[in-house]
Each structure stands twice: as C-alpha cells, then as structure tokens.
Amino acid sequence: MKPATPAVTHETAEIDLDRLRTDLEALAKIGGNLEHGGVDRPSFSDADMDARRWLMGRMAEGGLMPHMDAAGNVIGRWGAGDGPAVMIGSHLDSVPRGGVLDGTLGVIAGLECVRTMMSFGFTPTCPIEVVATSEEEGRFGGMLGSQALTGQVDADWLYAAKDDTGIALVDCMRAQGLSPEDTLRLGRPTDSIRAFLELHIEQGPVLDRKQIPVGIVEGISGVFHWSVTLKGQANHAGTTPMEMRNDAFLALADFAHTIPDIIDKAGGGHSRLTIGKVTMEPGFAHTVPGLVEFSLVGKDLDNAVMERLRVACRSGVETAGNAHGVASSIEEISWLRSQPCHPDIIAAFHRAAGQLGIETMVMPSGAGHDTQVMAAHTRAGMIFVPSVGGISHAPQERTDWNDIALGANVLLHTAMNLTSAPCRG
C-alpha cells in the first residue's frame, strides 16, 4: 500500500517549478529574438502589448481578476473585499536584445505564488495583487507604470518624453489604446497597498560568485550623473614641449587615477564611480588634445556618502585640471537619492528564508527597480536570485532553475506570512 501523501500546509507549500518554467518559456517566445536569442520587448511595442495580453489570459486561467490600466500596467487581483492589497510583481518590458528573466521573473513568480496558495486552500486575510508594470526599462525614461500607480508621474515629462528615435511617448501609448491623460489619474491611495514585493535577477556577479541563492536587498543605490568638461589648448604634438602643454587628456587621466583614493577616503564598500564615456577634440594623433568631455556616474546606498563623493570628485577634477593648466567645469545632469527598502519587508524576507533554511545575504541594488518607486508609497522590498556570470540585459542572461525555485519560495512564504496576519491597512 502506498503511504498517503501528507496534505500541503502553509509551512510545507512550495511553488510548482514546472508551471513557472512553462510560463517563462512561453513568455520568452513573445518578442523572442530569433537571431540572437533573448527578447525584444521595448515598452509599448506590439510584442510588449502581446505579452501583457498573454499574461491577462494566464491570470484569468489561474483564477485572478486581471485588468490593464491606462498606463499598460496589468494587475491581477485575488482575494475578498476591497481592502488594502499586498502587491507582488515587476515589469514585462525589456531592453532591446534583452534577456528573458529581467522583470519577467518577478511577474511570473508573483502569479505562481498565488496559484500555489490557491492550490492548497490558503486564504489570505487581505487581497493579493500580481502586477506587471509598464515602461520600467527606460525607452522613454523608465518607471512609468510604477510611477502611475503611486501618483508620481510628472505631466510635463509625460507629454514631452520621446524615445531615442524621436517617437513621442504619448503617440506610442495612444497607438496601443492606452491613455496618457488617464495615466495621470491612476495614483492609488496609499492605504490601498499594504506592501510591495519584487523578485528580480541580481544583474551583477555577487551572488553567483559567492554561491548564495538569494539576496535580500537593503536599498536601491542613489546615483549622480555628471558631464565634465576639461578645456586646455590644442597644439602641435611635436613642437610643444611637455612642460608647456595644456593637455586635457592628461588631466582626465590624472583624475581617473585618483578614483580608488576618492573611494577610500570619501566612499565605502557600496560606492561606485564610473567614467563610461569620453570624447576628445580634436581627436587627431599628432595634436595635443585641447578639449575632453567625460561622463562621471557615482553611486552609493547612503545619501551622506553620496554627498561626500560629490565633494571629493569636484575637488579631484579641479586639482587634476590645475595640474595641467586646464580649466574644468562640471554639469550635474541628475541626482537621484538612494531609497532604502522597508525594514518590515526586509525582516519578512529574512523570516521566510529562515523558515525554509535558505541561505541569504543582505546587499544593495546598484540598478534601479520598480521597488524604489513603490517604496515612496508603501512598505516595499525586493530579493535577488543569482545571474550566472553576472550577465544581464543580454540574451545570455540566465539563472539556475534551482535558484529560481528558492527565490520564488522565499517570495511565496513572505507573501503568505504577510497575508496571514490580520489586515491592518
């Protein structure tokens, strides 16, 4: 006689990895890039909208009530009443030639969590909403869907935004039957969302290198973006003695060399400084470079550290310029403050991982995510699973299926724990 299978309970519930994988593989075909692999689902493209309609179908089959809002967000709701919901999700749009997990994993894992809860009769004490946000990746600027849900869309920006081929965001939305006007009215009352949970691939090498399956994100790094100009004097490379030059490139090189020192003195373990783009004039092999423009992007989790990096970089650029008789000027293109994840949600992820015996580490997110927008509105938090080789935003983006299962189970148990307690707004 076969022993009876013990009934699944809150404590023993696990997501169905085959069902999750089947959905991820089906989604990978929508906008799938046949030549390079991966997906092309830029926001509000036909493929992006097809993926959203496909998701609504899967939600309806799973017993959720799906709808698409004016900004293209797909929301599937489950559970009684119109009380505040625990929201689980991420985005469905991709960068051009992107990977199949970025964003998508968090959406499908959210759906899988709800299906698992339904399958063994779990009754949440408040509604759960699975959300697929729109235009997260930044074809037009990024985070539009989550900003709409939290009432943070700037009308001037919305009506002016264009992609890098000059297509206006509003035209693109209207062509897909969405409404820029109504997008400005989508903001949910703060008391209608109880928490926001996001599972995402790490998009960096840390978890993979350390062989840890789940990262609990403590916060999303702030970022400053500068354009720095160094103005020296272009001159003949043969007739101008070395000590009589105003070489703008050497000033840049000096500054670049001081970056480790700046991080040592003003920064910390989470600090990042990157010179990602350089242009030189006249850019001729036989001429001393007279003009250099470069980008400087600084990141840290701590806003006070960001301020210190700002001061140290400013003085570093000036010192390097002065050493070569080169005038320096700095234009600050943007400054985004860091956003901590909510301590309640961080604790809830720790608790769930502890119950499941899954090893975790606490880490910052160096990339931007919907969680940072949602965090301004509700208790928001996110977890990472490893990116094999640290690769993302590329067709080679991959996560071991076992790690996906572990991350999704931490998400499941976190959501169940949060919706087992009495609803308290």
Residues that bind Zn ion (CB under 5 A): 102-103
Least distance from Zn ion to the Cβ atom of residue 332, Å: 26
CB nearer to Zn ion: give 55 or 230. 55
Least distance from Zn ion to the Cβ atom of residue 92, Å: 10
CB nearer to Zn ion: give 23 or 102. 102
Least distance from Zn ion to the Cβ atom of residue 404, Å: 15
CA atoms within 13 A on the CB side of 157: 12
* Residue sitting closest to Zn ion (CB): 103
CB nearer to Zn ion: give 204 or 289. 204
Least distance from Zn ion to the Cβ atom of residue 102, Å: 4
Backbone conformation region of residue 141, classed left if phi is above 0, alpha if psi is from -120 to 50, else beta:
left
Least distance from Zn ion to the Cβ atom of residue 14, Å: 25
CB nearer to Zn ion: give 102 or 112. 102
CB nearer to Zn ion: give 103 or 222. 103
CB nearer to Zn ion: give 56 or 367. 367
Least distance from Zn ion to the Cβ atom of residue 406, Å: 19
Least distance from Zn ion to the Cβ atom of residue 2, Å: 44
Q: How far is 250 from 236, CA to CA, in rounded Å?
A: 16
Least distance from Zn ion to the Cβ atom of residue 62, Å: 23
CB nearer to Zn ion: give 93 or 300. 93
CB nearer to Zn ion: give 94 or 360. 94
CB nearer to Zn ion: give 142 or 213. 142
CB nearer to Zn ion: give 102 or 129. 102
Residues paired with residue 364 on neighbouring β-strands, in sequence order: 219
Least distance from Zn ion to the Cβ atom of residue 200, Å: 6
Least distance from Zn ion to the Cβ atom of residue 393, Å: 9
Q: Residue 368: name the closest of 105, 129, 102 by CA.
A: 102
3 state SS for the chain: CCCCCCCCCCCCCCCCHHHHHHHHHHHHHCCECCCCCCECCCCCCHHHHHHHHHHHHHHHHHCCEEEECCCCCEEEEECCCCCCEEEEEEECCCCCCECCCCCHHHHHHHHHHHHHHHHCCCCCCCCEEEEEECCCCCCCCCCHHHHHHCCCCCHHHHHHCECCCCCEHHHHHHHCCCCHHHHCCCCCCHHHEEEEEEEEECCCCHHHHHCCCEEEEEEECEEEEEEEEEECECEECCCCCHHHCECHHHHHHHHHHHHHHHHHHHCCCCCEEECCCEEEECCCCCEECCEEEEEEEEEECCHHHHHHHHHHHHHHHHHHHHHCCCEEEEEEEEEECCEECCHHHHHHHHHHHHHHCCCEEEEEECCCCHHHHHCCCCCEEEEEECCHHHCCCCCCCCCCHHHHHHHHHHHHHHHHHHCCCCCCC
- Beta-strand relationship, 85-91 and 193-201: parallel
